[in-house]
Amino acid sequence: MASTAIRKVSFIGTGIMGAPIAGHLMDAGYELTVYTRSGEKAKGLIDRGARWAPDVESAALGADVVFTMLGYPEDVEDVYLATDGLIRSTKKGAWMVDLTTSSPGLARDIHDAAEVEDKHAFDCPVTGGEQGAIDGTLTLMAGVRKDDATVLQPLLESFSSKIYYLGGAGRGQIAKLCNQVSLGAAMMGYADALALAGRAGMDKAQVLDIISHGLGGSVALSQLGPKSVAGDYKPGFLAEHLRKDLGLAIFEADDLDIALPSAEAAYGLYDILCQVGGSRLGTQAVTLLYADDDTGTAAGLDWSKLDVPDYDHDEYDHGGHEHHHHHHR
């Protein structure tokens, strides 16, 4: 199948990450159709000539490739596996590429369901954040063999600078969860360091600069630490999404019978942050947990929300089907 066969691309979920990625696909010359739950998020793309689809089924019709960038595994499950979802609604031979960070088991189920219908689906989570999406320099973790997805390479290259082909459905998700586990630990590390520096009366920005030149540094510290110091909590990546990803990683680790102490600690911190009103702030807002009440309140936190009576402490270890990963919106 020559790559010229791919002309019509649909994109479902044009949020912080999805909209710029879809824009790169348009720049690369593909005919784009978009569907997103909150229509105004697609306005920029529609103004540039993208077609609007009123629902998932309409977005699937006639598409050679459908990309999805959603919030939670249950959104992915719904968009793909519902009766009017992508697996049923796409044409034979169509490709479906899920860019969401989601459940490895669900990715395998979607792949298998697609193959039964003579269609192709794989997981392809990304890293590089909002800026990487805007610049078109994301790193992709594709749960597929390179030879099997040659036809898609020009599309994937239009918004990435590195593509890892991981050889099988669900493996992209595992790689991404490994990234998120490492990120969670890095966020806690710099948050602890800033708390110590601040309490000791040090210049926090200077201390960050010092750490960034040694082994204690991290990409997270260099990129997000200064935002924490400046009190800029605007999301490049939502706190609630890191909580979700850490929960998925812990679920997976549990399944594989290993403990991930730093992931569990980071999950605990992000869970508190989300409970007290920080779920829609950027991940750098974890430093607010160490701040005085006035600083927290000014940023929109409300510590009185912490003891929610119906809070489920076993949120990520609920023994249910892994597709239904519980969360509090």
d(CA 113, CA 261): 35
d(CA 256, CA 125): 21
d(CA 297, CA 300): 5
Local structure of residue 291 (DSSP, 8 states): S
Annotated catalytic residue 176: yes
Spatial contact of 133 and 21, defined as CB atoms under 8 Å apart: yes
Q: Give me 179's structure tokens.
A: 């990234």
Spatial contact of 35 and 66, defined as CB atoms under 8 Å apart: no
d(CA 173, CA 126): 9
Across the strands, what pairs with 12?
35, 68
Which of 176, 204, 234, 244 is catalytic? The answer is 176
Q: Give me 274's structure tokens.
A: 């989300």
Catalytic residues: 176
